[in-house]
Amino acid sequence: MLRTVYIKTYGCQMNEYDSTRLADLLRESHGLTRVADPALADVLLVNSCSIREKAEEKLFSDLGRLSEWKGLRPGVVIGVGGCVASQEGEEIRRRAPYVDLVFGPQTLHRVPALLDDALARKPRVDIAFVEMEKFDALPEPRAEGPRAFVSIMEGCSKYCSFCVVPYTRGQEFSRPFDDVLAEVASLAEQGVREVTFLGQNVNAYRGARAGGGTADLAMLIDYVNEIEGIGRIRFTTSHPLDFDDGLIEAFARIPKLVNHLHLPVQSGSNAVLARMKRGHTVEAYRDKIARLRRVRPDISLSTDFIVGFPGETEEDFAATLALAEELAFDLSYSFIYSPRPGTPAAEWPDMERAIKEERLARLQAVNLAHAQSVSRAMVGRCERILIDREAPRGRGDLSGRTENNRVVNFPSPRRDVIGRFATVEITQALPNSLRGRLVAVETAPASSILTPMAS
Ligand code: SF4
Protein backbone atom coordinates (compact mmCIF):
# COMPACT_ATOMS: atom_id res chain seq x y z
CA MET A 1 0.00 0.00 0.00
CA LEU A 2 1.27 3.46 -0.92
CA ARG A 3 1.57 5.99 1.90
CA THR A 4 4.15 8.62 0.98
CA VAL A 5 5.36 10.68 -1.96
CA TYR A 6 8.66 12.48 -2.50
CA ILE A 7 8.72 15.24 -5.14
CA LYS A 8 12.01 16.72 -6.29
CA THR A 9 11.41 20.06 -7.99
CA TYR A 10 13.73 21.85 -10.38
CA GLY A 11 13.42 25.28 -11.93
CA CYS A 12 11.00 28.11 -11.63
CA GLN A 13 8.21 29.04 -9.24
CA MET A 14 5.70 27.59 -11.71
CA ASN A 15 7.25 24.19 -11.11
CA GLU A 16 7.19 24.74 -7.34
CA TYR A 17 3.50 25.62 -7.62
CA ASP A 18 2.86 22.52 -9.77
CA SER A 19 4.63 20.30 -7.23
CA THR A 20 2.55 21.72 -4.39
CA ARG A 21 -0.65 21.11 -6.34
CA LEU A 22 0.51 17.62 -7.27
CA ALA A 23 1.02 16.86 -3.58
CA ASP A 24 -2.51 18.21 -2.87
CA LEU A 25 -3.86 15.97 -5.63
CA LEU A 26 -2.14 12.79 -4.45
CA ARG A 27 -3.18 13.44 -0.86
CA GLU A 28 -6.77 13.59 -2.05
CA SER A 29 -6.65 10.71 -4.55
CA HIS A 30 -4.39 8.20 -2.76
CA GLY A 31 -4.00 9.60 0.76
CA LEU A 32 -0.27 10.17 0.19
CA THR A 33 1.74 12.31 2.59
CA ARG A 34 4.57 14.35 1.08
CA VAL A 35 7.97 13.56 2.61
CA ALA A 36 11.32 15.32 2.19
CA ASP A 37 13.44 12.17 2.20
CA PRO A 38 13.32 9.76 -0.78
CA ALA A 39 14.29 6.93 1.57
CA LEU A 40 10.86 7.25 3.20
CA ALA A 41 8.80 7.49 0.01
CA ASP A 42 6.68 4.91 -1.84
CA VAL A 43 6.29 7.22 -4.85
CA LEU A 44 9.30 9.14 -6.16
CA LEU A 45 8.57 12.00 -8.57
CA VAL A 46 10.90 14.42 -10.34
CA ASN A 47 9.37 17.67 -11.59
CA SER A 48 11.97 18.64 -14.16
CA CYS A 49 13.05 21.91 -15.76
CA SER A 50 14.62 22.32 -19.18
CA ILE A 51 15.74 25.94 -18.93
CA ARG A 52 19.24 25.40 -17.63
CA GLU A 53 22.19 23.73 -19.25
CA LYS A 54 22.43 19.93 -19.33
CA ALA A 55 18.90 19.54 -17.92
CA GLU A 56 18.46 16.11 -19.53
CA GLU A 57 21.76 14.76 -18.15
CA LYS A 58 20.88 16.01 -14.67
CA LEU A 59 17.48 14.36 -14.89
CA PHE A 60 18.87 10.98 -15.94
CA SER A 61 21.54 11.05 -13.26
CA ASP A 62 18.82 11.84 -10.69
CA LEU A 63 16.71 9.00 -12.00
CA GLY A 64 19.67 6.66 -11.74
CA ARG A 65 19.99 7.50 -8.04
CA LEU A 66 16.25 7.14 -7.44
CA SER A 67 16.20 3.76 -9.19
CA GLU A 68 18.41 2.41 -6.40
CA TRP A 69 15.45 2.81 -4.02
CA LYS A 70 13.40 0.68 -6.36
CA GLY A 71 16.06 -2.02 -6.13
CA LEU A 72 16.01 -1.87 -2.35
CA ARG A 73 12.25 -1.65 -1.93
CA PRO A 74 10.24 -3.39 -4.66
CA GLY A 75 6.90 -1.64 -5.20
CA VAL A 76 8.37 1.85 -5.24
CA VAL A 77 6.92 3.88 -8.15
CA ILE A 78 9.05 6.38 -10.10
CA GLY A 79 7.59 9.21 -12.20
CA VAL A 80 8.88 12.16 -14.19
CA GLY A 81 7.01 15.39 -14.93
CA GLY A 82 7.78 18.96 -15.96
CA CYS A 83 9.35 20.46 -19.05
CA VAL A 84 12.03 17.83 -19.76
CA ALA A 85 9.30 15.17 -19.59
CA SER A 86 7.26 17.24 -22.04
CA GLN A 87 10.22 17.51 -24.42
CA GLU A 88 11.55 13.97 -24.16
CA GLY A 89 8.34 11.95 -23.74
CA GLU A 90 8.86 8.26 -24.64
CA GLU A 91 12.62 8.80 -24.76
CA ILE A 92 12.62 8.91 -20.95
CA ARG A 93 11.27 5.37 -20.68
CA ARG A 94 13.60 4.20 -23.42
CA ARG A 95 16.66 5.47 -21.52
CA ALA A 96 15.27 4.70 -18.04
CA PRO A 97 12.86 1.76 -18.38
CA TYR A 98 12.37 1.62 -14.60
CA VAL A 99 10.34 4.88 -14.85
CA ASP A 100 6.66 4.01 -14.36
CA LEU A 101 4.95 7.23 -15.42
CA VAL A 102 5.77 10.33 -17.43
CA PHE A 103 3.58 13.42 -17.38
CA GLY A 104 3.83 16.98 -18.68
CA PRO A 105 3.05 20.34 -17.03
CA GLN A 106 -0.48 20.21 -18.47
CA THR A 107 -1.23 16.60 -17.46
CA LEU A 108 -0.19 16.57 -13.82
CA HIS A 109 -3.88 16.27 -12.86
CA ARG A 110 -3.84 12.85 -14.58
CA VAL A 111 -1.06 11.55 -12.29
CA PRO A 112 -3.51 9.69 -9.99
CA ALA A 113 -4.76 7.67 -13.00
CA LEU A 114 -1.19 7.16 -14.24
CA LEU A 115 -0.24 5.97 -10.77
CA ASP A 116 -3.06 3.42 -10.78
CA ASP A 117 -1.84 2.16 -14.15
CA ALA A 118 1.71 1.96 -12.84
CA LEU A 119 0.49 -0.15 -9.90
CA ALA A 120 -1.21 -2.43 -12.43
CA ARG A 121 2.19 -2.70 -14.22
CA LYS A 122 1.05 -0.57 -17.15
CA PRO A 123 3.66 2.20 -17.41
CA ARG A 124 2.42 5.22 -19.36
CA VAL A 125 3.57 8.45 -20.95
CA ASP A 126 1.02 11.28 -21.07
CA ILE A 127 2.40 14.65 -22.15
CA ALA A 128 -0.64 16.06 -23.97
CA PHE A 129 -1.41 19.80 -24.04
CA VAL A 130 -4.87 19.97 -22.52
CA GLU A 131 -4.81 23.53 -21.13
CA MET A 132 -7.69 24.25 -18.73
CA GLU A 133 -8.43 20.61 -17.91
CA LYS A 134 -5.60 20.63 -15.37
CA PHE A 135 -6.94 23.54 -13.32
CA ASP A 136 -10.49 22.19 -13.43
CA ALA A 137 -9.29 18.87 -12.03
CA LEU A 138 -7.09 20.12 -9.19
CA PRO A 139 -8.46 20.06 -5.62
CA GLU A 140 -8.88 23.13 -3.38
CA PRO A 141 -5.42 24.49 -2.61
CA ARG A 142 -4.10 23.95 0.91
CA ALA A 143 -2.13 26.84 2.40
CA GLU A 144 1.32 26.05 3.71
CA GLY A 145 2.10 29.27 5.56
CA PRO A 146 1.24 32.91 5.03
CA ARG A 147 2.65 33.17 1.49
CA ALA A 148 1.21 31.35 -1.50
CA PHE A 149 1.71 31.11 -5.23
CA VAL A 150 -1.33 31.19 -7.49
CA SER A 151 -0.84 30.21 -11.11
CA ILE A 152 -3.06 32.45 -13.24
CA MET A 153 -1.81 31.67 -16.74
CA GLU A 154 0.49 29.20 -18.38
CA GLY A 155 2.43 28.79 -21.54
CA CYS A 156 3.86 31.45 -23.78
CA SER A 157 3.22 32.65 -27.31
CA LYS A 158 6.22 34.96 -27.58
CA TYR A 159 8.68 32.40 -28.99
CA CYS A 160 11.91 34.11 -27.95
CA SER A 161 14.56 32.44 -30.07
CA PHE A 162 16.42 30.92 -27.08
CA CYS A 163 13.48 29.60 -25.04
CA VAL A 164 11.80 26.20 -24.83
CA VAL A 165 8.73 27.28 -22.88
CA PRO A 166 6.33 27.63 -25.85
CA TYR A 167 7.28 24.07 -26.85
CA THR A 168 7.13 22.51 -23.38
CA ARG A 169 4.22 24.42 -21.82
CA GLY A 170 2.28 25.32 -24.95
CA GLN A 171 0.63 28.58 -26.00
CA GLU A 172 -0.49 31.21 -23.50
CA PHE A 173 -3.78 30.42 -21.78
CA SER A 174 -5.35 32.16 -18.80
CA ARG A 175 -7.40 30.72 -15.99
CA PRO A 176 -10.92 32.13 -15.64
CA PHE A 177 -10.98 35.29 -13.53
CA ASP A 178 -13.59 34.00 -11.06
CA ASP A 179 -11.65 30.76 -10.46
CA VAL A 180 -8.55 32.75 -9.54
CA LEU A 181 -10.54 34.98 -7.16
CA ALA A 182 -12.08 31.92 -5.52
CA GLU A 183 -8.63 30.35 -5.05
CA VAL A 184 -7.23 33.52 -3.48
CA ALA A 185 -10.27 33.88 -1.18
CA SER A 186 -9.86 30.26 -0.06
CA LEU A 187 -6.15 30.80 0.64
CA ALA A 188 -6.90 34.01 2.57
CA GLU A 189 -9.38 32.12 4.76
CA GLN A 190 -6.62 29.62 5.50
CA GLY A 191 -4.28 32.38 6.70
CA VAL A 192 -2.45 33.40 3.54
CA ARG A 193 -1.49 37.07 3.66
CA GLU A 194 0.63 37.40 0.52
CA VAL A 195 -0.14 36.01 -2.92
CA THR A 196 2.22 35.84 -5.86
CA PHE A 197 0.50 35.48 -9.21
CA LEU A 198 2.49 33.19 -11.46
CA GLY A 199 2.72 32.80 -15.20
CA GLN A 200 5.51 32.42 -17.73
CA ASN A 201 4.24 35.69 -19.09
CA VAL A 202 2.00 36.74 -16.24
CA ASN A 203 1.11 40.21 -17.50
CA ALA A 204 -0.35 38.70 -20.68
CA TYR A 205 -3.16 37.42 -18.40
CA ARG A 206 -6.62 37.69 -19.97
CA GLY A 207 -9.04 35.70 -17.83
CA ALA A 208 -12.61 35.10 -18.96
CA ARG A 209 -15.21 36.55 -16.56
CA ALA A 210 -18.31 34.60 -15.61
CA GLY A 211 -20.56 37.47 -16.73
CA GLY A 212 -18.78 37.88 -20.07
CA GLY A 213 -15.69 39.74 -21.20
CA THR A 214 -12.16 39.33 -19.90
CA ALA A 215 -10.06 40.73 -17.07
CA ASP A 216 -6.41 41.71 -17.39
CA LEU A 217 -3.81 41.51 -14.64
CA ALA A 218 -4.49 45.07 -13.43
CA MET A 219 -8.19 44.27 -12.97
CA LEU A 220 -7.35 41.03 -11.17
CA ILE A 221 -5.08 42.94 -8.78
CA ASP A 222 -7.89 45.46 -8.16
CA TYR A 223 -10.28 42.70 -7.13
CA VAL A 224 -7.75 40.77 -5.02
CA ASN A 225 -6.96 44.04 -3.26
CA GLU A 226 -10.49 43.83 -1.82
CA ILE A 227 -10.18 40.27 -0.47
CA GLU A 228 -10.07 40.39 3.31
CA GLY A 229 -6.82 39.15 4.79
CA ILE A 230 -4.67 39.64 1.71
CA GLY A 231 -2.10 42.29 2.58
CA ARG A 232 0.38 41.92 -0.24
CA ILE A 233 0.21 41.11 -3.93
CA ARG A 234 3.13 40.17 -6.18
CA PHE A 235 3.35 38.85 -9.71
CA THR A 236 6.06 37.21 -11.77
CA THR A 237 7.35 36.89 -14.46
CA SER A 238 6.46 39.87 -16.62
CA HIS A 239 7.34 40.53 -20.22
CA PRO A 240 8.25 44.15 -21.07
CA LEU A 241 5.93 44.08 -24.11
CA ASP A 242 2.87 43.42 -21.94
CA PHE A 243 3.90 45.79 -19.15
CA ASP A 244 1.28 48.40 -20.02
CA ASP A 245 -0.16 51.64 -18.65
CA GLY A 246 -2.90 49.73 -16.82
CA LEU A 247 -0.28 48.02 -14.67
CA ILE A 248 1.62 51.25 -14.07
CA GLU A 249 -1.66 52.80 -12.88
CA ALA A 250 -2.20 49.78 -10.62
CA PHE A 251 1.17 50.50 -8.99
CA ALA A 252 0.06 54.11 -8.55
CA ARG A 253 -3.22 53.36 -6.76
CA ILE A 254 -2.89 50.00 -4.98
CA PRO A 255 -0.52 50.06 -1.99
CA LYS A 256 -0.92 46.31 -1.47
CA LEU A 257 0.83 45.80 -4.79
CA VAL A 258 4.39 45.46 -3.47
CA ASN A 259 7.06 48.00 -4.21
CA HIS A 260 8.92 45.53 -6.37
CA LEU A 261 8.87 44.45 -10.00
CA HIS A 262 10.78 41.68 -11.75
CA LEU A 263 11.03 42.65 -15.42
CA PRO A 264 13.53 40.64 -17.48
CA VAL A 265 15.48 42.73 -19.99
CA GLN A 266 17.91 39.97 -21.12
CA SER A 267 20.33 42.31 -22.95
CA GLY A 268 21.29 45.97 -23.21
CA SER A 269 21.86 45.72 -26.97
CA ASN A 270 19.03 46.25 -29.46
CA ALA A 271 20.80 44.02 -31.98
CA VAL A 272 20.88 41.14 -29.49
CA LEU A 273 17.28 41.77 -28.39
CA ALA A 274 16.21 41.59 -32.04
CA ARG A 275 18.03 38.25 -32.52
CA MET A 276 16.48 37.02 -29.28
CA LYS A 277 13.12 37.98 -30.83
CA ARG A 278 12.13 39.78 -27.66
CA GLY A 279 9.93 42.29 -29.46
CA HIS A 280 11.13 45.30 -27.45
CA THR A 281 14.08 47.66 -27.53
CA VAL A 282 16.28 48.98 -24.76
CA GLU A 283 14.64 52.41 -25.20
CA ALA A 284 11.13 50.97 -24.77
CA TYR A 285 12.25 49.11 -21.63
CA ARG A 286 13.91 52.23 -20.20
CA ASP A 287 10.78 54.29 -20.94
CA LYS A 288 8.53 51.85 -19.07
CA ILE A 289 10.84 51.90 -16.04
CA ALA A 290 10.91 55.72 -16.10
CA ARG A 291 7.10 55.89 -16.17
CA LEU A 292 6.85 53.35 -13.36
CA ARG A 293 9.34 55.30 -11.26
CA ARG A 294 7.20 58.41 -11.72
CA VAL A 295 4.40 56.74 -9.73
CA ARG A 296 6.66 54.67 -7.43
CA PRO A 297 9.93 56.62 -7.19
CA ASP A 298 11.60 54.11 -4.85
CA ILE A 299 10.40 50.91 -6.52
CA SER A 300 12.76 47.96 -6.32
CA LEU A 301 13.58 46.44 -9.70
CA SER A 302 15.02 43.07 -10.53
CA THR A 303 15.80 41.58 -13.90
CA ASP A 304 17.31 38.70 -15.88
CA PHE A 305 20.26 38.85 -18.26
CA ILE A 306 21.52 36.29 -20.76
CA VAL A 307 25.22 36.63 -21.50
CA GLY A 308 27.01 35.29 -24.57
CA PHE A 309 24.00 34.97 -26.86
CA PRO A 310 25.04 33.91 -30.39
CA GLY A 311 26.61 36.86 -32.19
CA GLU A 312 26.96 39.03 -29.06
CA THR A 313 29.92 41.33 -29.74
CA GLU A 314 32.06 43.08 -27.16
CA GLU A 315 30.10 46.28 -28.02
CA ASP A 316 26.79 44.51 -27.44
CA PHE A 317 28.05 43.29 -24.10
CA ALA A 318 29.34 46.76 -23.18
CA ALA A 319 25.78 48.05 -23.79
CA THR A 320 24.47 45.41 -21.36
CA LEU A 321 26.99 46.46 -18.73
CA ALA A 322 26.06 50.12 -19.27
CA LEU A 323 22.34 49.34 -18.86
CA ALA A 324 23.02 47.41 -15.65
CA GLU A 325 24.94 50.42 -14.31
CA GLU A 326 22.31 52.90 -15.45
CA LEU A 327 19.23 51.17 -14.06
CA ALA A 328 20.99 49.94 -10.88
CA PHE A 329 18.81 46.87 -10.40
CA ASP A 330 18.16 45.75 -6.84
CA LEU A 331 18.73 42.17 -7.89
CA SER A 332 19.75 40.61 -11.19
CA TYR A 333 19.82 37.03 -12.29
CA SER A 334 22.39 36.55 -15.02
CA PHE A 335 23.09 33.37 -16.91
CA ILE A 336 25.40 32.17 -19.61
CA TYR A 337 23.51 31.38 -22.80
CA SER A 338 23.28 27.67 -23.49
CA PRO A 339 21.51 26.27 -26.55
CA ARG A 340 18.21 24.55 -25.81
CA PRO A 341 17.36 21.77 -28.26
CA GLY A 342 14.50 22.62 -30.59
CA THR A 343 14.88 26.41 -30.38
CA PRO A 344 15.96 28.57 -33.35
CA ALA A 345 19.04 29.94 -31.55
CA ALA A 346 20.32 26.39 -31.01
CA GLU A 347 21.05 26.30 -34.75
CA TRP A 348 23.29 29.37 -34.62
CA PRO A 349 27.05 29.31 -33.98
CA ASP A 350 27.71 29.27 -30.25
CA MET A 351 30.37 31.44 -28.68
CA GLU A 352 33.47 30.17 -26.89
CA ARG A 353 32.69 29.17 -23.33
CA ALA A 354 35.65 31.11 -21.91
CA ILE A 355 34.39 34.38 -23.43
CA LYS A 356 30.92 33.81 -22.03
CA GLU A 357 32.30 33.07 -18.57
CA GLU A 358 34.50 36.12 -18.57
CA ARG A 359 31.57 38.37 -19.57
CA LEU A 360 29.30 36.78 -16.99
CA ALA A 361 31.86 37.48 -14.25
CA ARG A 362 32.05 41.14 -15.28
CA LEU A 363 28.28 41.56 -15.35
CA GLN A 364 27.79 39.75 -12.06
CA ALA A 365 30.36 42.02 -10.39
CA VAL A 366 28.32 45.08 -11.44
CA ASN A 367 25.03 43.51 -10.41
CA LEU A 368 26.35 42.29 -7.07
CA ALA A 369 27.72 45.74 -6.25
CA HIS A 370 24.25 47.24 -6.85
CA ALA A 371 22.49 44.54 -4.85
CA GLN A 372 24.87 44.96 -1.93
CA SER A 373 24.59 48.72 -1.97
CA VAL A 374 20.76 48.44 -1.83
CA SER A 375 21.05 46.05 1.13
CA ARG A 376 23.56 48.29 2.92
CA ALA A 377 21.32 51.34 2.40
CA MET A 378 18.52 49.46 4.19
CA VAL A 379 20.57 49.23 7.41
CA GLY A 380 19.07 51.57 10.02
CA ARG A 381 15.74 51.77 8.18
CA CYS A 382 12.45 50.36 9.43
CA GLU A 383 10.92 47.91 6.97
CA ARG A 384 7.51 46.27 6.84
CA ILE A 385 7.87 42.52 6.58
CA LEU A 386 5.57 39.52 6.49
CA ILE A 387 6.84 37.06 9.10
CA ASP A 388 6.59 33.73 7.33
CA ARG A 389 8.55 31.08 9.24
CA GLU A 390 11.21 30.15 11.73
CA ALA A 391 14.63 30.98 10.34
CA PRO A 392 16.18 27.80 8.91
CA ARG A 393 19.51 28.06 10.72
CA GLY A 394 18.25 27.62 14.30
CA ARG A 395 19.11 30.15 17.05
CA GLY A 396 15.37 30.56 17.56
CA ASP A 397 15.17 33.40 15.03
CA LEU A 398 12.15 34.18 12.91
CA SER A 399 12.28 35.11 9.27
CA GLY A 400 10.26 37.39 7.01
CA ARG A 401 10.42 39.20 3.71
CA THR A 402 10.57 42.88 2.91
CA GLU A 403 8.60 44.42 0.06
CA ASN A 404 11.71 44.16 -2.13
CA ASN A 405 11.73 40.43 -1.35
CA ARG A 406 14.81 40.37 0.86
CA VAL A 407 14.90 37.86 3.69
CA VAL A 408 15.23 39.38 7.18
CA ASN A 409 16.09 37.17 10.15
CA PHE A 410 15.55 38.50 13.64
CA PRO A 411 15.42 37.20 17.20
CA SER A 412 11.99 36.70 18.74
CA PRO A 413 10.77 34.43 21.52
CA ARG A 414 7.24 34.50 20.09
CA ARG A 415 5.95 32.03 17.53
CA ASP A 416 2.39 33.35 17.41
CA VAL A 417 3.56 36.26 15.24
CA ILE A 418 4.28 34.01 12.24
CA GLY A 419 1.81 34.99 9.53
CA ARG A 420 1.57 38.62 10.62
CA PHE A 421 2.96 41.81 9.19
CA ALA A 422 5.54 43.55 11.33
CA THR A 423 8.02 46.38 11.36
CA VAL A 424 11.68 45.51 11.81
CA GLU A 425 14.67 47.79 12.04
CA ILE A 426 17.40 46.48 9.74
CA THR A 427 20.61 46.11 11.73
CA GLN A 428 22.96 44.29 9.36
CA ALA A 429 23.31 43.47 5.65
CA LEU A 430 24.73 39.99 5.00
CA PRO A 431 25.54 38.60 1.53
CA ASN A 432 22.24 36.73 1.14
CA SER A 433 19.97 38.13 3.83
CA LEU A 434 19.45 40.93 6.34
CA ARG A 435 19.37 40.89 10.11
CA GLY A 436 16.89 42.97 12.00
CA ARG A 437 15.27 43.90 15.29
CA LEU A 438 11.55 43.49 15.77
CA VAL A 439 9.93 46.85 16.43
CA ALA A 440 6.18 46.21 16.17
CA VAL A 441 3.73 43.57 15.04
CA GLU A 442 0.45 44.40 13.36
CA THR A 443 -2.51 43.23 15.39
CA ALA A 444 -4.71 41.97 12.60
CA PRO A 445 -4.27 40.82 9.00
CA ALA A 446 -3.31 43.75 6.81
CA SER A 447 -4.12 46.15 9.65
CA SER A 448 -2.14 49.28 10.25
CA ILE A 449 -2.66 49.16 14.03
CA LEU A 450 0.71 48.40 15.63
CA THR A 451 1.49 46.73 18.91
CA PRO A 452 4.87 47.91 20.29
CA MET A 453 7.24 45.03 21.09
CA ALA A 454 9.89 44.89 23.78
CA SER A 455 13.31 44.96 22.15
S1 SF4 B 1 8.59 35.48 -23.14
FE2 SF4 B 1 9.67 34.29 -21.57
S3 SF4 B 1 8.66 32.28 -21.54
FE4 SF4 B 1 8.04 33.29 -23.45
S5 SF4 B 1 9.47 32.57 -24.99
FE6 SF4 B 1 10.32 34.50 -24.19
S7 SF4 B 1 11.68 33.89 -22.48
FE8 SF4 B 1 10.38 32.10 -22.98
Query: What residue segments make up the domains of the chain, in order of their start?
Result: 4-126, 133-377, 379-452
CA distance linking residue 131 with residue 173, whole number of Å: 7
What's at 94, amino acid-wise? Answer: R
**Predicted pLDDT at 138:** 83
Cα 74 to Cα 95: distance, rounded to the nearest angstrom: 20
Q: Which are the contacts of 398, defined by CB distance < 8 A and separation ≥ 6?
A: 387, 389, 390, 391, 409, 410, 411, 412, 414, 415, 417, 418, 438
* pLDDT for 301: 96
Pocket test for ligand 1, best of 165, 265, 338 (most atoms within 8 A of CB): 165
Q: Which CATH number describes the domain made up of 4-126?
A: 3.40.50.12160
Verify whether ligand 1 is closer than 6 Å to residue 239 (CB atom).
yes
CA distances to 61, 87, 237, 366 from 13, in Å: 23, 19, 9, 26
Distance CA 366, CA 371 (A): 9
Tens digits of pLDDT across the chain (455 residues):
899 999 999 888 888 999 999 999 999 999 999 999 999 999 999 999 887 667 778 888 889 999 988 888 888 999 999 988 988 899 999 999 999 999 998 898 999 999 999 999 999 999 988 766 778 888 888 888 999 999 999 999 999 999 998 998 889 999 999 999 999 999 999 999 999 999 999 999 999 999 999 999 999 999 999 999 999 999 999 999 999 999 999 999 999 999 999 999 999 999 999 999 999 999 999 999 999 999 999 999 999 999 999 999 999 999 999 999 999 999 999 999 999 888 999 999 999 999 999 999 999 999 999 999 999 999 999 999 999 999 987 678 999 999 999 999 999 988 899 999 999 999 999 999 999 999 999 986 543 344 444 33
CATH of region 133-377: 3.80.30.20
**pLDDT at residue 445, rounded to an integer:** 56
Q: Which of 14, 87, 154, 158 to mutate to test the pocket of ligand 1 (most atoms within 8 A of CB)?
A: 158
* Ligand 1 centroid to residue 341 C-alpha, Å: 15
> What is the per-residue pLDDT for 181?
97
Q: How many residues does the chain have?
A: 455
Ligand 1 atom with minimal separation from the 156 CA: 4
Q: What is the pLDDT of residue 451?
A: 44
Ligand 1 contact, 236 CB (< 6 A): no
Ligand 1: residue whose CA is nearest its atom 6: 160
Name residues whose C-beta falls within 8 Å of residue 53's C-beta, 6 or more positions apart in sequence: 336, 338
Give burial (CB, 10 Å; 0-12/13-18/19+) of 162: buried
pLDDT of residue 90: 92
Interval between CA 158 and ligand 1 midpoint (Å) = 6
Amino acid at 425: E
pLDDT value, residue 394? 65
| 243 SS3 class | coil
**CA of 157 relative to ligand 1 center, distance in Å:** 8
**Residue 166 CA, closest ligand 1 atom number:** 5
pLDDT value of position 175: 95
Q: Provide the pLDDT for residue 289.
A: 96
CA–chain centroid gap for 82, Å, is 14
pLDDT of residue 395: 77
Distance between Cα 17 and ligand 1 center (Å): 18
Burial class (CB in 10 A: 0-12, 13-18, 19+), 128: middle
pLDDT of residue 88: 87
CATH of 379-452, one of 3.40.50.10490, 3.30.200.20, 2.60.40.150, 2.40.50.140: 2.40.50.140
